[in-house]
Amino acid sequence: MFLSNTTDHYCQALDQRDVSMLGPAAARQVEHHLSFRDNHFETPLRSLPGLAAELGVASIHIKDEGHRLDLGSFKALGGAYAVIRLVLEEAERRFGRPFGMADFQSPEVRAVASTMTVACATDGNHGRSVAQGAELVGARAAIFVHSGVSDERVAAISRFGAEIVRVQATYDDCVKEAARMAEANGWTIVSDTSWPGYERIPGLVMQGYTALVSEALRQMPEVPTHVFIQSGVGGIAATVAGHLAIKFGNARPIFTVVDPERAACLLETARAGTPVAVAHGMPTIMAMLECYEPSLVAWRVLSRVADGFMTVDEADAVDVMNRLANPVCGDPAIVAGESGGVGLAGLMKAVADPSIKAALSLDRHSRIFLVNTEGATDPGKYEEIVGVAPSDVAARNAAGDHA
């Protein structure tokens, strides 16, 4: 584990661009957008009192993004939102008048969208959101998938009418190929990671994620004292950390970023103090987090307001999937995909290690906030790991709402 700001727990000033991108005003704008979306409802915040007692903390609340917009992950909030914003902006440019979120399916906007192609690379979930956004406004989508993306996840993207471009390489290579092809063909790249000279659109994607944080704060009985969020390129971790820092300043929760041990680009970046790429090794079961280079925008935020960086291994991820599917002490059953429960895995590892527990000031008064970032986005893989179909796990809560 690498500790950053924990000793003094201060809040460095965020870049003004990030305040505008991730603050309460931005979250209200995203929630306004969501009010026009079919199948939108606030995702549940689940309380885990049994597990909290076992771990020796006051409370654990987990935001269950497996129910988001019928896409099964928090990514549903980002890619589609960015696509719709970009199409509305292009309509404003061409027609010379403003278009609001209420207009995103108007004939004028759809006419503009029909001339546009959006593209991205994906591990599965972001591409599904971008493809859905393109379908909603009538744009074309080209989604680049690397060799580790399962056929089931590819099929879930294809159902939105997107063109699938297979790249026989890693996710990071896929990102580069998508950007190259977009430049060559005049497409708009809608990436959830950023690089030098390309920051605004990934910022819009991250802005979309702010809705889950504002929802959770309304749903929680008290502000959390600690947050553990999993990280791929860093987008969701930076969004949650940034929004909480903007809202609460130095009274913000202690924030810990959790990486897969086999793709720990944020941990190694924190150690180096500057963005670094980590070597590709064995694939990780945490497929949605298998990223080897951090997003520059995400790192700009996390370098200022994250307190700790840690890793969990393959067994930790599997254990948490099974633990959430088979809870004890009256906790609700939760369907968490391979990457969904990684923040909880980090918490469990932290409380089991006296040095980490002390460094993060975890005790019986601690109120923990987590995000289940995905449900069973590959149901077959989920059943293979957990031994039961996700629908059967979900049915365990049918008798009542445990949130």
pLDDT tens track for 350-363: 999 999 999 999 99
Confidence class for position 10, pLDDT limits 50, 70, 90:
low
- DSSP codes of every residue in 153-170: HHHHHHTTTPEEEEESS-
User: Which pLDDT score, from 0 to 100, does residue 136 have?
Assistant: 97
Percent of the chain scoring above 70 in pLDDT? 97
What crossing angle do the helices spanning 314-325 and 342-352 adopt, rounded to 10°?
Answer: 110
381 given a catalytic annotation: no
Residue 9 confidence (pLDDT): 58
At the top level of CATH, the class of 2-73+202-395 is alpha beta
**Whether pLDDT at 8 is above 90:** no
Q: Distance between CA 330 and CA 38 in Å, rounded?
A: 33
Please report the pLDDT score of residue 12 as a whole number.
76
Higher pLDDT, 398 or 234: 234
Tokens 């991205």 map to which residue? 120
Q: Which residues are registered as beta bridge partners of 141?
A: 118
Q: List the CATH code of the domain at 79-191.
A: 3.40.50.1100
The pLDDT tens digits of the residues spanning 83-127 come to 999 999 999 999 999 999 999 999 999 999 999 999 999 989 999
Kindly indicate the confidence band of residue 403, based on its pLDDT and cuts at 50, 70 and 90. Answer: very low
Which letter, b or e, does each residue of 214-235 get, where b requires 16 or more Cβ atoms within 10 Å of its Cβ?
bbbbebbeeebbbbbbbbbbbb
Best CA proximity match to 207, nearest among 83, 317, 364: 83
For residue 398, what pLDDT is reported?
62
Whether 369 and 65 have beta carbons less than 8 Å apart is answered as: no
CA distance 265 to 45: 29
pLDDT at 148: 86
For residues 221-248, give the mean pLDDT. Answer: 97
Q: Is 402's pLDDT higher than 70? A: no
**CB-CB contact of 369 with 74 (8 Å):** no
**Segments of 26-73 assigned E as strands:** 45-47, 59-64
Q: Which two tokens stand for residue 164?
A: 């699938």
CA–CA gap between residue 120 and residue 192 (Å, rounded): 8
The reply to whether 349 belongs to the active site is: no
Between CA 1 and CA 340 the distance in angstroms is: 21
Q: Where in the chain is the domain with CATH 3.40.50.1100?
A: 2-73+202-395, 79-191
Q: Is the pLDDT of residue 210 over 50?
A: yes
Check if the beta carbon of residue 195 is closer than 8 Å to that of residue 296: yes
Q: How many residues can be counted in the chain?
A: 403
Active-site position among 18, 63, 64, 123: 123
* Catalytic member of 18, 64, 75, 192: 75
